[in-house]
Chain A
């Protein structure tokens, strides 16, 4: 049985980092990104598809902790940002492939404040006043070649409420937003927040098993791609091969234009090249490994430089010291070599250690094998796993929250339907 924390879970490091509201895997984890919610990465999940072991599912969530009843301007993706999923397929922590989402919002009738002017029964409903579409591109980072995978996918609408989606009809409308192109499937839209954790740690370390992320939503990008299209050279490695190429590394990011000019008499202008403002691979790295002084710098930097930039934080993490000092968790002392065990988790098969979510893609790997840190399933209790690893005392440590409030599905897009704004 896991021993629940009786006091804080990450203690001072997280308290300092978490600003004024709740924080989960990587929600509002840095001072800069806390002021730009729409481009804040929250979580990345990667797992072999439960329905087709030849495919990989990647979930990249953004825009944290969304209240369901959040009208009149319901949450969406930013039209002025690019959202990207990066794939390293040769183990050097440098992206070889990138899937890029760009969004565009349209309003049918600007003369009303209403998001929808009547009940909605399909994505194409004339009553859906505000719609958002996206283009999905695949970028070969070696050649620079861009291929449009989905030219005009539609973002699933917000689950406004029972009057807008009568008869529990929301999910059937939302699932119409699943787009298919060749062997690729894509979904963009609101989902139930899948990360489960007790955030009462921020009330003077008062954690105790409360499921504090229940009932909120998040904006999700869900991508399902044939593994062979992601693997180096287009060939899925054979079973049993333990090479750098048999592990994919995944991280998500968001970028904004370098310059924004606010105008007095019209909308602002966004100019210049894109600058990365957020990134995430593993859960909880920028939350509790990187201290305040480096959090914004972390978001601007690339995983390939993680060792030289932040390696000392990994080798000598703050979390176990706090667990011992505050909770009496009796965590193991840091070895002379530092926490090379954590470095090893970040560098399977001799890949370059970096904050990438890595998953083995050999022939024969299945959904059942996709368990953090070999990928990450929606049901994986990464909080408990990382606390236990960090403390390294031989005892399991947890926060007392072990499951999501809603069940995940075996069918794409796998995340649960978002909470209604008016249930």
Chain B
């Protein structure tokens, strides 16, 4: 925030000195430039000339900048949100909608609770988890994709320790949605990168 005295000195520079030479081009240019900047500063800052030559009444403080819709949320959304987006894209006849979904999700941070079973996530080379514990209530359709999980260093071991011998382990992962294939021609697939274990418990059911 620009200090008032700086603004005041800028705007309320010695007028007599400038007035007597106002007719000179350099001074007129300087004054015009200063005026434009001053207008901008006045719009942004509190009253500039308080305490200086030509006191003015203090302008009311503008409200703080409100968050806009373009600011990304902390987490991109749940797997249900993604599934709903995929359903909408599948129904859409608008060109480019698949790419819109990819751009909206790829690279974003997600925090999902998923189900890990040893049969599909026991091998160090491959880990796939169930994104939906049961059929999505009210959902338009089922989805076949199982997210592939690539753990951050040490996190796979944490997961194995947390899940121990559980046949179905509900794990909460925070990860980057690293790959998302959304296509009219190819099956949907999802990959979570740099996954970090946030929590683990026996899966319900």
Residues of chain A whose beta carbon lies under 8 Å from any beta carbon of chain B: 290-291, 293-294, 297-298, 300-301, 305, 307-313, 315-316, 318, 334-338, 340, 343-344, 347, 352-353
Contact = CB atoms under 8 A, between A and B. Distances in A.
B189 A337 contact: no
B112 interface: no
B120 A353 contact: yes
Interface stretch (B41-49, B98-106, B127-135): B127-135
A300 B144 contact: no
B90 A336 contact: no
Contact of B117 (A297, A313, A337): A337
B187 interface: yes
List 6 tightest A-B contacts by C-beta distance, closest first.
A336-B205, A309-B187, A337-B168, A311-B146, A336-B168, A310-B144
A301 B203 contact: no
Contacts of B144: 290-291, 294, 309-313
Contacts of A300: 185-186
A12 B205 CA distance: 26
A110 to B, nearest CB: 39
Contacts of B145: 308-312
Given A318-B142, A336-B204, A301 B120 contact: no
24 contacts: A293-B141, A298-B187, A301-B187, A305-B187, A307-B146, A308-B128, A308-B191, A309-B144, A309-B188, A310-B144, A311-B120, A311-B128, A312-B142, A312-B144, A312-B146, A313-B144, A315-B130, A316-B142, A318-B142, A334-B134, A336-B168, A337-B115, A337-B203, A340-B167
A23 B188 CA distance: 26
A316 B134 contact: yes
B146 A308 contact: yes
A309 B189 contact: yes
Contacts of B188: 309
B148 interface: yes
A305 B181 CA distance: 12
A30 to B, nearest CB: 13
A344 B119 contact: yes
A312 B143 contact: yes
A312 B144 CA distance: 4
A338 B186 contact: no
Nearest to B203: A336
A244 to B, nearest CB: 12
A301 B146 contact: no
A95 to B, nearest CB: 18
Interface in B93-119: 115, 117, 119
A353 B143 CA distance: 18
A338 B121 CA distance: 13
Given A311-B120, A343-B120, A335 B168 contact: yes
Contacts of B120: 307, 311, 340, 343, 353
Interface centre among A310, A311, A338, A344 (most CB of B within 10 A): A338
Nearest to A309: B187
Interface string B142-178: 1111111000000000000000000110000000000
A32 B133 CA distance: 31
A338 B128 CA distance: 13
Contacts of B142: 291, 312-313, 316, 318
Nearest to A321: B135
Contact of A343 (B119, B133, B186): B119
A308 to B, nearest CB: 5
A297 B168 contact: no
A293 B90 contact: yes
Contacts of B187: 294, 297-298, 301, 305, 309-310
B141 A291 contact: yes
Nearest to A298: B187
A297 B186 contact: yes
A134 to B, nearest CB: 30
Nearest to A341: B119
Nearest to A92: B125
A318 B141 CA distance: 11
Interface centre among A294, A308, A334 (most CB of B within 10 A): A308
Contacts of B126: 307, 352
Interface centre among B117, B120, B134 (most CB of A within 10 A): B120
B205 A301 contact: no
A300 B184 CA distance: 12
Interface centre among A290, A294, A300 (most CB of B within 10 A): A294
B137 to A, nearest CB: 13
Contact of A312 (B131, B148, B204, B205): B131
Contacts of A347: 119
A343 B130 CA distance: 13
Contacts of A335: 167-168, 205
Contacts of B146: 307-308, 311-312, 315
A300 B131 CA distance: 24
A310 B186 CA distance: 12
B160 to A, nearest CB: 16
A316 B135 contact: yes
A336 B115 contact: yes
A305 B189 contact: yes
Contacts of B143: 312
Contacts of B148: 308
Interface centre among B133, B141, B146, B147 (most CB of A within 10 A): B146
A337 B190 CA distance: 20
